[in-house]
């Protein structure tokens, strides 16, 4: 149906938040939420609620939920194929190629974050991870949000980009945590292209820097 198609495309092209998907689909929240219920029941997407843990928010604080595809193929389809299906059907792949080039890093960011969570679990054997995921509220987003068995709080960021992560990213992350009353014991970065010398000089037990070479642990 056109409504479902619009919502699914909105999820694929946006940040996953319900309000973003509804805005892209040009529908009201009431209509969108009813459609989301049916799409979740069908197993196409799943809904994840915003996490208020570690904050002092009141119970009536409103945080937008996020929507995720249950299958990587469906996410690929509604990001790259469905919006330009007619051209592909007619054998014109130019727009697809350009679209893929423009959005490739953005598209890979989500599985990069998910794999980073698995990698982080393997790096905390002495004090195992008991919770890990992403965090978002109305002000900030954290790619890495975890808690160890001993109660240590971990916050972090994943960077699937072609540039090295600089010290300014650490400052930005620390400011984001302060804004949402999160006090991490450990900060972790996971980066495709490595780190500046300035940031590497700050590495210690409370600042961990992981790169592509560390992902070998996942296949060893």
Mean pLDDT of 16-44: 88
In a domain, 102, yes or no: no
CA pair distance 117, 137, nearest whole angstrom: 19
Q: Is the pLDDT of residue 187 over 90?
A: yes
My answer on whether 78 and 116 are in the same domain is no
Q: Is the pLDDT of residue 1 over 70?
A: no
Bridge partners (DSSP) of residue 186 are 154
Q: What is the pLDDT of residue 42?
A: 92
Instruction: Confirm if 39 and 97 have CB atoms less than 8 A apart.
Output: no
In a domain, 27, yes or no: yes
In a domain, 106, yes or no: no
Residue 24 binned pLDDT confidence (cut-offs 50, 70, 90): confident
CA pair distance 170, 188, nearest whole angstrom: 9
In a domain, 8, yes or no: yes
My answer on whether 148 and 178 are in the same domain is yes
Element (H, E) at 191: strand 186-191
My answer on whether 140 and 208 are in the same domain is yes
Q: Which domain holds residue 168?
A: 112-218
Q: Tell me how many domains the chain contains.
A: 2
Tokens of 2: 């056109």
Q: Is the pLDDT of residue 186 over 90?
A: yes
CA pair distance 195, 213, nearest whole angstrom: 13
Q: What is the pLDDT of residue 58?
A: 37
Residue 133 binned pLDDT confidence (cut-offs 50, 70, 90): very high
Higher pLDDT, 138 or 140: 140
Handedness of CA 102, 108, 113, 114 (dihedral sign): positive
Which CATH number characterizes residue 49's domain?
Answer: 1.10.10.10
Helix, coil or strand: residue 67: strand
Q: What is the pLDDT of residue 14?
A: 77
Helix extents (H) in the chain: 2-13, 18-25, 29-42, 72-76, 85-89, 94-122, 167-179, 197-200
My answer on whether 178 and 138 are in the same domain is yes
**Domain boundary residue among 57, 92, 127?**
92
Q: What is the pLDDT of residue 43?
A: 93
Element (H, E) at 209: strand 207-211
In this prediction the pTM is 0.84
Higher pLDDT, 9 or 147: 147
Q: Is the pLDDT of residue 202 over 70?
A: yes
In a domain, 12, yes or no: yes
Instruction: Confirm if 113 and 134 have CB atoms less than 8 A apart.
Output: yes
My answer on whether 59 and 124 are in the same domain is no
Per-residue pLDDT reduced to its tens digit, 71-129:
999 999 999 999 899 999 999 999 999 999 999 998 999 999 999 999 999 999 999 99
Which CATH number characterizes residue 128's domain?
Answer: 3.40.1350.10
**Domain boundary residue among 92, 126, 143?**
92
């Amino acid at each position: 149906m056109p409504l479902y198609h619009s919502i699914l495309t909105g999820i694929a092209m946006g940040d996953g938040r319900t309000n973003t998907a509804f805005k892209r689909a040009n529908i009201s929240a009431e209509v969108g939420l009813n459609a989301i219920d049916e799409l979740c029941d069908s197993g196409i997407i799943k809904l994840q609620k915003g996490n208020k843990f570690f904050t002092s928010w009141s119970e009536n604080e409103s945080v937008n939920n996020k929507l995720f595809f249950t299958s990587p193929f469906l996410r690929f389809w509604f990001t790259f194929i469905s919006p330009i299906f007619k051209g592909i059907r007619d054998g014109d792949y130019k727009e697809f190629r350009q679209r893929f080039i423009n959005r490739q890093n953005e598209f890979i960011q989500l599985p990069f974050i998910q794999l980073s969570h698995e990698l982080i679990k393997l790096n905390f054997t002495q004090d195992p991870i008991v919770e890990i995921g992403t965090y978002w509220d109305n002000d900030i987003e954290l790619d890495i949000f975890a808690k160890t068995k001993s109660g240590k709080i971990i916050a972090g960021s994943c960077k699937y980009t072609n540039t090295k992560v600089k010290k300014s990213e650490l400052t930005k992350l620390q400011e984001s945590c302060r804004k949402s009353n999160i006090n991490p014991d450990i900060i972790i970065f996971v980066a495709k292209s490595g780190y500046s010398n300035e940031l590497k000089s700050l590495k210690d037990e409370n600042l961990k820097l992981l790169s592509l070479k560390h992902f070998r642990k996942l296949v060893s």
